């Protein structure tokens, strides 16, 4: 793995820090082209509404029925950092919703995305 160092424009770092962003995060964001806190809007309002994601209604019913029937659930996850995070969130969320039998599977990374 090759580590790539990116320059962080000082003005962007300064602007982010002045907006209350932690100095380390300000450098990371600036190195990735972020120049203002407005580009970091992490509010839920910017997320796509669930009803616009095809199949979410059917998936919700399927999961609710499975949880009510005390069925076993398995979250299939990717091996990278966002896949691991999504897996942890899904497993915890399902348990908080009452699922008692939740496991997860991370396929061999040599296989890739051929799940």
- Tell me if 22 is assigned to some domain: yes
Domain range enclosing 16: 10-41
- Tell me if 57 is assigned to some domain: no
Is there a single domain that holds both residue 115 and residue 75? yes
- Tell me if 37 is assigned to some domain: yes
Is there a single domain that holds both residue 115 and residue 74? yes
**What's the pTM value of the predicted model, to 2 decimals?**
0.62
- Tell me if 79 is assigned to some domain: yes
**What pLDDT does 114 receive?**
57
Is there a single domain that holds both residue 76 and residue 115? yes
- Tell me if 62 is assigned to some domain: no
> Number of folded domains in the chain?
2
Q: What is the pLDDT along the chain (115 residues), one digit of tens a residue?
A: 788 888 999 999 999 999 999 999 999 999 999 999 888 877 788 788 888 999 999 999 999 999 999 999 999 998 888 999 999 999 999 999 999 999 999 887 666 555 5
- Tell me if 59 is assigned to some domain: no
**What pLDDT does 87 receive?**
96
- Tell me if 89 is assigned to some domain: yes
- Tell me if 49 is assigned to some domain: no
**What pLDDT does 47 receive?**
83
3-state secondary structure the chain: CCCCCCCCCHHHHHHHHHCCCCHHHHHHHHHCCCCCHHHHCCCHHHCCCHHHCCCHHHHHHHHHHHHHCCCCEEEECCCCHHHHHHHHHHHHHHHHCCCCCEEEECCCCCCCCCC
């Amino acid at each position: 793995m090759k580590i790539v160092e990116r320059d962080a424009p000082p003005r962007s770092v300064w602007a982010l820090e002045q907006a209350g962003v932690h100095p380390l995060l300000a450098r990371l964001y600036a190195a990735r082209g972020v120049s203002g806190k407005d580009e970091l809007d992490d509010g839920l309002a910017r997320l796509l509404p669930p009803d616009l994601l095809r199949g979410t209604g059917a998936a919700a019913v399927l999961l609710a029925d499975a949880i009510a029937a005390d069925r076993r659930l398995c979250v299939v996850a990717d091996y990278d950092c966002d896949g691991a995070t999504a897996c942890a969130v899904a497993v915890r969320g399902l348990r908080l919703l009452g699922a008692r039998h939740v496991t997860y599977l991370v396929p061999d990374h040599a296989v890739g995305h051929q799940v």
